[in-house]
Amino acid sequence: MAGNAKVPAPVGARQEQDKKARCGWQGGARIWDDSEPQTKRLKSCVDGEPQKKLPKRKIVLLMAYSGKGYHGMQRNVGSSQFKTIEDDLVSALVQAGCIPESHGEDMRKMSFQRCARTDKGVSAAGQVVSLKVWLIDDILAKINSHLPSHIRILGLKRVTGGFNSKNRCDARTYFYMLPTFAFAHKDHDVQDETYRLSAETLRQVNRLLACYKGTHNFHNFTSQKGPREPSAQRYILDMFCEEPFERDGMEFAVIKVKGQSFMTHQIRKMVGLVVAIVKGYAPEDVLERSWGEAKVDVPKAPGLGLVLERVHFEKYNRRFGSDGLHEPLDWAREEAEVAAFKEQHIYPTIVSTERHERSMAQWLSTLPVHDFSATAQAAASPGAKVPSPQEGSEGDGDSD
């Protein structure tokens, strides 16, 4: 029995334990502390050991991901039915030791914000998120080790303490990749893989896409806005279609669009309406009518080909990019990795999915059911009803 008796700790050891307890020592575990009073108490500990804390810093992460199989970017806490990109990201951040597990449940605790809330199936080559993390060693490698190969963190930069990636972002560039048979006249086979885009048709496509440039009322290009809501006004800096190219025997083209911000489904509807015009289903004047107050039936192209290519921080870079303390958010050094990710994960997914699921071909077959002349007749009738602003609700923006 005597051998099992507890030996009292020496007086010096008990005093050391008491000091550690008063100073908040928790067995060497990392502690995330946002409270200023606690920080002051730690500093006031007389010759006691400080709390074992890694530096907590505001950073941005450059992300690339293939959106197939995901219900968008934004996490829906408490809903396991619909998997999102942020579900995998937050899990990796916790497993890598960058954030406490509790912050995975409440992302506000780490001041998390995304530049764009990409929709279901939409991919990204240059998404940027801002958050507070513990700056552990080899942080990018550790985060990526807990992510699937189709989600990668390609870059990290320190930013100002109050940085918010959504509010600081002053423009977004998306591209939409589609098979060129989408531009074939409606008399053609709906999925003629031998079709090749002519120079004349490409000029027509670019002439129509250029009409979007400038500020317009895009209430008909989303389900969230009424025609008189100021937030339905959106500014498009540029939109054009690049030269076509072949992948696996099928010809594709990429439409690029840069704008200050976009509403839910806006880009897909912008593409959809131009396709309907080029194919001969809709008259060209439907573009002008779509910016008026009357309701216009605008078809929504599939989400498969839509990719967030990059986000822009020109104003932030001008103010902080050369102050000697912060780096400009331009990601020039990561461009090779971004290009490699697109080649490995984004382009092949779009091509193989289109070939096997025929999403574009199936959508093209629905264009004849749209009535592009009905709104013109309704607008000309004396009792035409204009949707009220209440019929659209304020959205997050940048959801496409």
User: Which residues are annotated as part of the binding site for substrate?
Assistant: 174
Q: How many Cβ atoms are within 10 Å of 372's Cβ, its own excluded?
A: 21
One-letter amino acid at 115 equals C
**Amino acid at the residue 297:** D
Which one of the listed residues 87, 88, 119, 400 is annotated catalytic?
119
* Contact of 118 with 72, CB cutoff 8 Å: yes
- DSSP for residue 359: H
- Please count the residues of the chain: 400
Burial zone of 109 (CB within 10 Å; 0-12 exposed, 13-18 middle, 19+ buried): middle
Give kind and range of the element (H or E) at residue 172: strand 171-179
All residues at 6 or more sequence positions from 72 whose CB lies less than 8 Å from its CB, including other chains = 84, 85, 117, 118, 119, 120, 122, 399
In this structure, are residues 229 and 392 in contact, taking their beta carbons and an 8 Å threshold? Answer: yes
- With a CB cutoff of 8 Å and minimum separation 6, the contacts of 387 are 219, 226, 227, 293, 295
Rg (CA), the chain: 27
Q: How far apart are CA 178 and CA 351, in angstroms?
A: 9
Residues β-bridged to residue 68? none
Neighbouring residues of 237: CB distance < 8 A, sequence distance ≥ 6: 171, 213, 258, 259, 260
| Kind plus residue range of the DSSP H or E element containing 174 | strand 171-179
Would residue 119 show up in a list of annotated catalytic residues for this protein? yes
Q: Write the DSSP string, 6-65.
A: PPPPPHHHHHHHHHHHHTT--TT-------HHHHHHHHHSSSPPPP--PPEEEEEEEEEE
Place of tokens 């400080």: 50
Q: What CA dihedral angle connects 119, 121, 124 and 130, to 10 degrees?
A: 50
Positions annotated as catalytic residues are: 119
